[in-house]
Chain A
């Protein structure tokens, strides 16, 4: 027993010597924690004669919400004296911001002439006292939130290496008129607009990769058929009206095909069809239900739900229907798969009393529960993979929520009445 302390001392000495040896070559610098970058957003200052503080505040608030939801920043709106010579000619005094502990600063200015709006935003690195980003946007007054979101996307591009998806929107189904119709809103719940007016059941929307068209299932002719329409048009084109169910349509990543579930053979099977509905190609062959196809980002694989083993589970197959393998092994009822844009994870809903949202690696590892409050279904990834939108039944009604990919920051974004379900993210505004 007496030699134990000596042995420990000897080991400690060896470790110290190893560190010294390492320091001669490459020195390791470590620090604890993972801090959020503290970001101050100053409402844009007016450039011309028209002064509208509400407009400036709304833009600042939109950016604060975006950047806080990114999970990289602790953003807050801070008022500051306007720069006397405008943003372009003034020298930023970083000291007060540095003293207040901020890492980054967003300042902007706007000019409103009638309905024409010009906005300029700048991102400053307070710590290094330098400007990181300048963007100028020209458009209508109604575009102000879009300009703010666009700048938030750019900020993420500069700071995280990949643009955000705050200019994208969410298409969803709402029953606020008494019928299930399709709506679209900004990702943060603003600028809601009704898309369909079929006065019947319209469900399961999906947005084309270019963001111009949507497909959905509607009962407007009595049968659940698959329709397609442009977001800018009211013309709805039936693309799959086969006998039985034509449901859970999903665009392929290149937009050339649509995967969907058809029950024309008796039980529901997964097919692919061309974007005009032609050339159906059956992918699954089983005596059970196969629904909810979700393409991998490279279009080579499809995740889907099948109860071929008795209970609904998530499976993965090649895009031609081969090489089927079971993905989820935990839980007895797993549905609603959604493949992440990076291709590494699949989000899905598991029934555990109510439904809860999980993510799992595509090799079946790291099965992680993200939600626990209420009943949560239909997860869909944002185009940048940072956020997940889902429908949640909490406090009575069913609403659209957004959370970060790790389950944090769950926030209700839909503000309309009725039941709000089946959310889908559109591509970002380029």
Chain B
């Protein structure tokens, strides 16, 4: 009877030890896993700065980045606000480090994480700047050549925008698929000095609507860049109407 009880006590002790060892091991594994992926579960705010070519309000002033050299200085400071904000969004609750006091471990981890986030932000910012510089050097941003002296595609885009706004207010037609193609000549003062009808589907109501849209747009347009004469062709159509 005593032998049986002793044997049972031994087994109980072994089981207890084994269980303790397994729990300790599991604990260390979890801590080790958390150290491998410290960002797991945390929320990080991300800011995007989308660089696009918007129609400029005053096209004769050209691009917001007039020449490549000063452009670097301007854009170098401009996008800083976005990415730096993400550094402030560092995690507030860091995992506990082993072998150190909880407060020291958290502080050390937070510092390391902030350093990593800052580095990542710097890299992103550098990449964005490099992209902008590349665009400026290639003349793809703002007005061509970025001098504001040439009538280029941005003035066309600007005119397109003005014409579209005016056309929304005048569009009217009586046939199924009307269209009107016109060639506009705009003098250095921004006046439409010639309106040539290139092609028309023959819908007089639509032709009138286009003519009225151009007259309306004329009241709102500014002179071409460098006060040069601008010529461009535009085809007016109702939205969603296709031609066969």
Contacts and interface: CB of A to CB of B under 8 A. Distances in A.
Interface of A: 23-37, 71-72, 103, 125, 127-128, 159-162
B230 interface: no
B204 A159 contact: yes
B237 A159 contact: no
B235 interface: yes
B156 interface: yes
B233 A27 contact: yes
B58 interface: no
B172 A26 contact: no
A385 to B, nearest CB: 11
B204 A28 contact: no
21 contacts: A23-B156, A26-B181, A27-B156, A27-B159, A27-B232, A27-B234, A29-B213, A29-B235, A31-B167, A32-B240, A33-B171, A34-B171, A34-B172, A34-B238, A37-B172, A71-B174, A72-B205, A128-B212, A128-B216, A161-B207, A162-B204
A159 B208 contact: yes
Contacts of A125: 212
B240 A26 contact: no
Which of B159, B164, B172 has the most A CB atoms < 10 Å from its CB? B172
Nearest to A32: B239
Contacts of B207: 161
Contact of B174 (A27, A32, A35, A160): A160
Contacts of B233: 25-27
A125 B208 CA distance: 11
A26 B234 contact: yes
Contact of A127 (B153, B164, B215): B215
A34 B172 CA distance: 5
B168 A32 contact: yes
Given A34-B171, A127-B169, 13 more contacts: A24-B153, A26-B181, A26-B234, A27-B159, A27-B232, A30-B239, A31-B168, A34-B173, A34-B238, A72-B205, A128-B216, A159-B204, A161-B202
B53 to A, nearest CB: 11
A160 B205 contact: yes
B56 to A, nearest CB: 16
Nearest to A162: B204
A26 B171 CA distance: 19
B171 A31 contact: yes
B153 to A, nearest CB: 7
Interface residues of B, number: 35
B157 interface: yes
Q: Which 7 A-B pairs have the closest CB atoms?
A: A161-B204, A30-B239, A31-B167, A32-B239, A31-B168, A26-B233, A31-B171
Contact of B167 (A29, A71, A161): A29
B179 to A, nearest CB: 9
Which of A24, A25, A34 has the most B CB atoms < 10 Å from its CB? A34
B97 to A, nearest CB: 38
Given A28-B235, A32-B239, A128-B215, A23 B167 contact: no
Which of B171, B213, B237 has the most A CB atoms < 10 Å from its CB? B171
Contacts of B171: 31-35
Nearest to A35: B172
A167 to B, nearest CB: 20
Contacts of B236: 29-30
Given A127-B215, A127-B216, A29 B164 contact: yes
Interface string B132-171: 0000000000000000000001001101100110011111
A34 to B, nearest CB: 6
Contacts of B203: 161
A161 B168 CA distance: 22
Nearest to B210: A29
A84 B159 CA distance: 41
A422 to B, nearest CB: 30
Contacts of B168: 31-33
Contact of A72 (B153, B172, B237): B172
B62 to A, nearest CB: 18
Contacts of B160: 23, 27, 29
Interface string B183-224: 000000000000000000011110110001101100000000
Contacts of A34: 171-173, 238
Contact of B204 (A25, A26, A127, A160): A160
A385 B237 CA distance: 24
A128 B205 CA distance: 16
A267 B82 CA distance: 91
B171 to A, nearest CB: 4
Contacts of A127: 169-170, 212, 215-216
B157 A23 contact: yes
Contacts of B170: 35, 103, 127
Nearest to B199: A26
